[in-house]
């Protein structure tokens, strides 16, 4: 996702930005809950450290090796940090009690039962908006190629760890699994300063149902992966797979650490085959374990993010979950980062410039075991906004480039160069992108109707849009080669990764390697390192659904 900043989707652990240097527990500081990550075999030492620091244990997660403990602010965190048993401490952001404000919801379009029940036939017909999907044509996800040979299996479960999925959208409902879907988030109307964050709560207790998405980002991602071939709108990369909402993001687009841990652990335990993660864990764009520019508490929080997410990712991967992530939209060579000007970004107004280096990580894109995806525009060249790096780039996929900067264009914005996918009608109405008559008010939104059923689609761009193309291709491979298990299929992540790389189309670095971009309002030059088999712009190549549909194991 490209929102004019470095973020994919804003992701937050709600850092405690308290005074540096405090060493004694102070009753004046508010009591908060923290995720206390302990070293292997050091659970007893962590329990003792919590007690010695004046805290109390609330709960624990032995799968990921952490305690949830209450303590008084920054001093509590720093006291924990003095124990050899503790490897990281991050806040478990609690919403507290909130009064649900009953908003008047926009009308949800009725779902045509015939559309829901219609399956891909032997000779699939393109959906009405297929001509607008340059991205699917680029990777061979079309009616005459992968849809015909391998549209995916309902037994393959694809988890979307994002802002939610509109399970009532007519072009998602046929493939949406409401029973398996979960929401790990409580909406927060305002931030600590009283500024609007998620806005008024639509449901009691500020907990949205599992088929809701009040942001739209997760719905777009889910649609790219698996919108069905049903004669309405457009189709995703794998139009027959099952979509599972694993909501970990706030309505505002922020992502707290704990919901992401919970989503990954649930994916592992529920038999999810592959997850898409188009976000990063804030408040730190780059997480540095020992940056001298940060306070001790901030260092511990960043260690907690690195450690906690790695444990959750390892737990999921060990149980058969393939992990795919967007690489980021910061136009940065992640192997040579020098400055982070956007962290910590929660609470608002705390950002500052700090020097960083390659020991600092963007999580989960740079976490072990994660397949990170860069974005290309319609020309096939890396998009101007996409992060890159010889160490970090694993694959590339269509993400869009509205400026034409990927092909040396003049920077004139063209929305059709971005990615079209499903959008929640209610979100578009709130944003004023469709009028009271139901017609779009902007060229970035498209409406398609079949009989009495209408659905909406939106053009977006970013590495958030690239990653789901790779996730869809992974789902095709699992559908073809997965081993039967109870109610589903499974395929080792190592095998999925290998087949993804083998089916990808190899791409050379541009010539010259320092590629100049002329994007809207800016010019940039990014240098591609590596060879045809692996380089910083395209990793091991551009994902290809048609090749994945026919490749031999």
pLDDT at position 247 over 60: yes
User: How many angstroms separate the Cα of 379 from the Cα of each of 366, 375, 376, 514, 515?
Assistant: 27, 11, 8, 17, 13
Q: Quick one: 387 exposed, middle or buried, by C-beta within 10 A (0-12, 13-18, 19+)? A: buried
Beta-strand pair 322-326/274-277: parallel
Residue 451 CB neighbours (<10 A): 10
- For residue 1, what pLDDT is reported? 38
Q: What are 232's two structure tokens?
A: 């309405």
From the centroid of its chain, how far is CA 39?
28
Q: What are 310's two structure tokens?
A: 């790695």
Instruction: Categorize the per-residue pLDDT at 252 as very low, low, confident or very high, splitting at 50, 70 and 90.
Output: confident
- For residue 24, what pLDDT is reported? 36
- For residue 520, what pLDDT is reported? 57
Beta-strand pair 371-376/322-326: parallel
Q: What is the mean pLDDT of residues 70-77?
A: 93
- For residue 250, what pLDDT is reported? 84
Cα(120)–Cα(148) distance, rounded to whole angstroms? 9
Flag whether the pTM goes above 0.85: yes
- For residue 405, what pLDDT is reported? 61
Per residue in 133-166, pLDDT (tens digit) is: 999 999 999 999 999 999 999 999 999 999 999 9
Cα(198)–Cα(310) distance, rounded to whole angstroms? 28
User: How many angstroms separate the Cα of 200 from the Cα of each of 248, 281, 386, 525?
Assistant: 18, 24, 33, 43
- Residues 158 and 226: beta-carbon distance below 8 Å: yes
Pairwise pLDDT comparison (2 vs 168), residue with the higher score: 168
Q: What is the mean pLDDT of residues 505-532?
A: 89
Instruction: Categorize the per-residue pLDDT at 412 as very low, low, confident or very high, splitting at 50, 70 and 90.
Output: low
Domains of the chain: 113-548 (3.40.50.200)
Instruction: Categorize the per-residue pLDDT at 179 as very low, low, confident or very high, splitting at 50, 70 and 90.
Output: very high
pLDDT at position 113 over 80: no
Q: What is the mean pLDDT of residues 483-492?
A: 94
- For residue 330, what pLDDT is reported? 94
E strand map for 423-519: 445-450, 453-460, 483-485, 488-490, 514-519
pLDDT at position 12 over 60: no
Per residue in 310-343, pLDDT (tens digit) is: 999 999 999 999 999 999 999 999 999 999 999 9
Which of the residue ranges 86-100, 178-192, 260-274, 539-553 would you say has the lowest mean pLDDT? 86-100
- For residue 295, what pLDDT is reported? 95
pLDDT at position 378 over 60: yes
pLDDT at position 110 over 50: no
- For residue 522, what pLDDT is reported? 65
Q: What is the mean pLDDT of residues 484-490?
A: 93
pLDDT at position 433 over 70: yes
Please name the helix (run of DSSP H) or strand (run of DSSP E) that holds residue 81, with its range, or none. helix 73-81
Q: What is the mean pLDDT of residues 419-442?
A: 97
- For residue 21, what pLDDT is reported? 34
Give which of 22, 461, 415 is closest to 224, Cα–Cα. Answer: 461
- For residue 350, what pLDDT is reported? 87
Per residue in 452-465, pLDDT (tens digit) is: 999 999 999 999 99
- For residue 449, what pLDDT is reported? 97
Cα(267)–Cα(324) distance, rounded to whole angstroms? 13
- Residues 384 and 331: beta-carbon distance below 8 Å: yes
Cα(414)–Cα(89) distance, rounded to whole angstroms? 45
Per residue in 390-405, pLDDT (tens digit) is: 999 999 999 999 987 6
Average pLDDT value over all residues in the chain: 88
- Residues 398 and 375: beta-carbon distance below 8 Å: yes
Cα(284)–Cα(330) distance, rounded to whole angstroms? 13
Both ends of the chain: CA-CA distance in Å? 33
Per residue in 463-485, pLDDT (tens digit) is: 999 999 999 999 999 999 999 99
From the centroid of its chain, how far is CA 142?
25
Cis peptide before 347 (omega within 30 of 0): yes
- For residue 217, what pLDDT is reported? 97
């Amino acid at each position: 996702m490209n929102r004019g900043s470095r973020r994919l989707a804003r992701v937050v652990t709600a850092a405690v930005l308290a005074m540096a240097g405090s060493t004694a527990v102070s009753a004046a500081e508010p009591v908060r809950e923290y995720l206390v990550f302990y070293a292997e075999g050091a659970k007893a030492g962590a329990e003792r450290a919590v007690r010695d620091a004046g805290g109390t244990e609330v709960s624990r997660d032995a799968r990921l090796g952490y305690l949830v403990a209450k303590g008084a602010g920054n001093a509590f965190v720093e006291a924990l940090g003095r124990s050899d048993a503790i490897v990281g401490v991050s806040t478990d952001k609690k919403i507290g009690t909130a009064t649900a404000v009953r908003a008047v919801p926009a009308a949800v379009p009725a779902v045509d039962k015939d559309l829901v029940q219609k399956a891909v036939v032997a000779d699939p017909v393109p959906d009405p908006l297929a001509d607008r999907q340059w991205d699917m044509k680029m990777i061979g996800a079309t009616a005459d190629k992968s849809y015909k040979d391998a549209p995916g299996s309902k037994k393959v479960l694809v988890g979307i760890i994002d802002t939610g999925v509109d399970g009532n959208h007519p072009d998602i409902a046929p493939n949406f699994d409401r029973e398996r879907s979960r929401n790990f988030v409580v909406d927060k109307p305002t931030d600590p300063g009283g500024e609007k964050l998620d806005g008024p709560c639509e449901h009691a207790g500020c907990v949205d149902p599992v088929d809701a998405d009040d942001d739209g980002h997760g719905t777009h991602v889910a649609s790219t992966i698996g919108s069905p071939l049903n004669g309405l709108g457009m189709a995703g990369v794998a139009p027959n797979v099952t979509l599972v909402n694993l909501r970990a993001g706030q309505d505002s687009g922020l992502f707290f650490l704990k919901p992401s841990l919970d989503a990954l652990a649930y994916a592992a335990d529920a038999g999810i085959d592959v997850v898409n993660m188009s976000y990063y864990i804030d408040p730190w764009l780059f997480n540095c374990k020992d940056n001298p520019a940060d306070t001790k508490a901030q260092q511990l929080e960043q260690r907690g993010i690195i450690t906690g997410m790695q444990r959750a990712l390892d737990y999921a991967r060990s149980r058969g979950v393939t992990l795919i992530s967007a690489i980021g939209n910061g136009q940065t060579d992640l192997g040579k980062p020098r400055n982070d000007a956007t962290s910590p970004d929660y609470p608002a107004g705390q950002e500052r410039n700090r020097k960083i280096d390659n020991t600092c990580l963007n999580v989960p894109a740079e976490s072990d075991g994660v397949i990170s995806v860069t974005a290309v525009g319609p020309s096939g060249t890396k998009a101007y906004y996409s992060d890159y790096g010889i160490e970090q780039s694993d694959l590339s996929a269509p993400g869009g480039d509205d400026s034409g900067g990927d092909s040396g264009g003049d920077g004139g914005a063209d929305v059709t160069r971005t990615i079209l996918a499903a959008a929640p009608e209610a979100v578009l109405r709130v944003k004023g992108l469709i009028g009271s008559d139901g017609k779009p008010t902007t060229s970035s939104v498209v409406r398609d109707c079949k009989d009495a059923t209408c659905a909406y689609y939106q053009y977006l761009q970013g590495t958030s849009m690239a990653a789901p193309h790779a996730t869809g291709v992974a789902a095709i491979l699992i559908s073809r080669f997965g081993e039967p298990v109870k109610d589903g299929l499974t395929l080792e992540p190592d095998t999925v990764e290998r087949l993804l790389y083998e089916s990808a189309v190899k791409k050379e670095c541009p010539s010259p390697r320092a590629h100049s971009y002329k994007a809207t309002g800016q010019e940039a030059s990014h240098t591609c390192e590596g060879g045809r088999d692996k380089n910083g712009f395209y990793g091991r190549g551009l994902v290809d659904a048609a090749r994945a549909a026919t490749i031999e194991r």
